[in-house]
Amino acid sequence: MFKRVAGTKDILPDEAGHWQAIETAARHTFSLFNYREIRTPIIEDAALFNRTLGSTTEIVQKQMFLIHNHPDVYALRPEGTASIARSYLENNLDKTSAFIKLYYIGPMFRLERPQKGRLRQFHHIGCEAIGSQEAALDVEVISLADQLLKGFAITDYKIKINSLGCAEDKERLSLNLKQGLQKEEQNLCPDCRLRIQKNILRVLDCKNDGCQKIVKQLEFKNSHLCQDCLNHFEKVRSGLDSLGIAYQIQPQLVRGLDYYNRTVFEITHPDLGAQDAIGAGGRYNNLIKELGGPDTSGIGFAFGVERLLLASKLGEEKPLNKLTYLITLGDAAKEAGIKILNQLRSYGIACEMDYLSRSLKSAMRAANDLNADYVLILGEDELKKNVISLKEMSGGSQREINIHDLTKELKC
Ligand code: HAM
């Protein structure tokens, strides 16, 4: 017996309604904010991620699913932002609109150690707004995340924000961090000792318990921010205040990807256990330029759908569309039944038939298991009289009606 690959999940029909409800709610909210959908390939040139996420990040160093097709190396995308930036430039979207808002829903792949809420194939609902560096956009993007969560019927989440500042500020932050970590260097894991030399901010995302303990004890201030970046952050905060969006400032929040600058944020939920980030994002003012494009800023975020589902009950209720279940008795009735189903469906009536030639009693049980609203029973006698029995499952009443009136009866 084959088994699914570790860290992947089958989404069975009982669960799929929950997924659909989340996706429908997301599409609705995105359209309220004027975002349009973009779908990019799951495989990309692996170098795209090295260049944008950063060669010293956990994802690039340890978590990429690589496909070697000499001389090319492809990667299963670990996230959406780099692909959207690539697509934005490749399709000249920068030339067709100065400002664009895009959203995406789809699978992402990271070779992580699987555990609750951490998969190797997981799904993002994400968005990117490209073309503006105004703080008002940061405010709108965070309020979009907030509104999406409300649409998913998720409560009790916490929005944590920080500002990394510009490239020079990030340098200053790295220097501050170097000073802070100096005494503890020997107690860091071998990877982090290397990170101190190559990209010290990545020490803050290390999953090693010892390193996390050391990082927690560090003192952070926003002293690395220049005046422009301080002003920007101040505007973001007052914008969120004016919308009544609760947030916490978390100075040690740097995010695990190199493309971020200025505003970064993460949203956590207490029901998720150790992997408590339900979504995260931030601003990337150099990413498009880094890929050879114009000097254009962007900001976005992504929610992990599997984690949203752990916190949301949306869509767990019975689907609203009514189902009619047809039971036929005998070959002639089955033949006529196929035509009846065809006609009902052409009128938009959802229906199903017993394909296992069960007894009336067990076919009724099957209809019940499917939560059918109506059962139709068609035997040889009914067929001769051109009638069909219609049973309402909720009240239990049963009556005979003319087959020609069936669509009318079920429509109302
Ligand atoms: P990220 O923080 O790497 O950001 O991922 C976003 C969210 O995806 C996380 O908060 C988490 O909910 C979910 N997630 C990440 N890894 C896993 C996993 N292995 N299993 C299950 N869920 C996971 C990004 O990917 C950025 N591209 C977000 C962004 C968009 N920034 C700007 N625009």
Sequence-separated (6 or more) residues with CB below 8 Å from residue 381? none
Of all protein residues, the one whose alpha carbon is nearest to atom 10 of ligand 1 is 279
| SS3 at position 411 | helix
Give the residue, 221 or 260, on which the prediction is more confident. Answer: 260
Q: What's the 269 CA to ligand 1 centre distance in angstroms? A: 14
> Which atom of ligand 1 sits closest to the CA of residue 117?
21
Helix (H) or strand (E) holding 58: helix 58-62
Sheet holding 158-163, edge to edge: 36-37, 100-109, 121-130, 298-304, 277-284, 261-268, 158-163, 248-249
Alpha carbon distance 187, 193 (integer Å): 9
Tell me the one-letter amino acid at 386: N
27 alpha-carbon distance from chain centroid: 11
Q: What's the 59 CA to ligand 1 centre distance in angstroms? A: 11
What is the pLDDT, as a whole number, of residue 316? Answer: 65
Angle among Cα 101, 105, 111 to the nearest 5 degrees reads 120
Q: What's the 169 CA to ligand 1 centre distance in angstroms? A: 24
Is the pLDDT reported for residue 240 higher than 70? yes
Sheet holding 72-76, edge to edge: 43-45, 72-76, 65-69
pLDDT digits (tens, 9 = 90+) for 144-193: 999 999 999 999 999 999 999 999 999 999 998 998 888 889 999 998 99
Residue that the structure tokens 């099957």 belong to: 366
The phi, psi pair for 373, rounded to 5°, reads -85, -35
Is the pLDDT reported for residue 206 higher than 90? no
Nearest to residue 215, comparing CAs of 170, 252, 265, 254? 252
Q: What is the pTM of this model?
A: 0.92
> Which atom of ligand 1 sits closest to the CA of residue 124?
8
Q: What percentage of the chain's residues is helix, strand, coil (to nearest 5)?
A: 45, 20, 35
Sequence-separated (6 or more) residues with CB below 8 Å from residue 94? 88, 130, 131, 288, 293, 294, 296
The first and second tokens of residue 348, run together, are 């938009």
pLDDT digits (tens, 9 = 90+) for 95-104: 999 999 999 9
The first and second tokens of residue 368, run together, are 């019940």
Using a 6 Å CB cutoff, which residues line ligand 1?
79-81, 110, 112, 117-119, 122, 124, 126, 128, 277-282, 300-302, 304, 306-307
- What average pLDDT score do residues 71-98 get? 97
**Average pLDDT of the chain, as a whole number:** 94
The first and second tokens of residue 119, run together, are 């998969």
pLDDT digits (tens, 9 = 90+) for 330-347: 999 999 999 999 999 999
pLDDT digits (tens, 9 = 90+) for 118-132: 999 999 999 999 999
349 alpha-carbon distance from chain centroid: 32
Query: Where are the alpha helices (H) located in 152-275, listed in sequence order?
Result: 167-181, 190-198, 209-217, 227-243
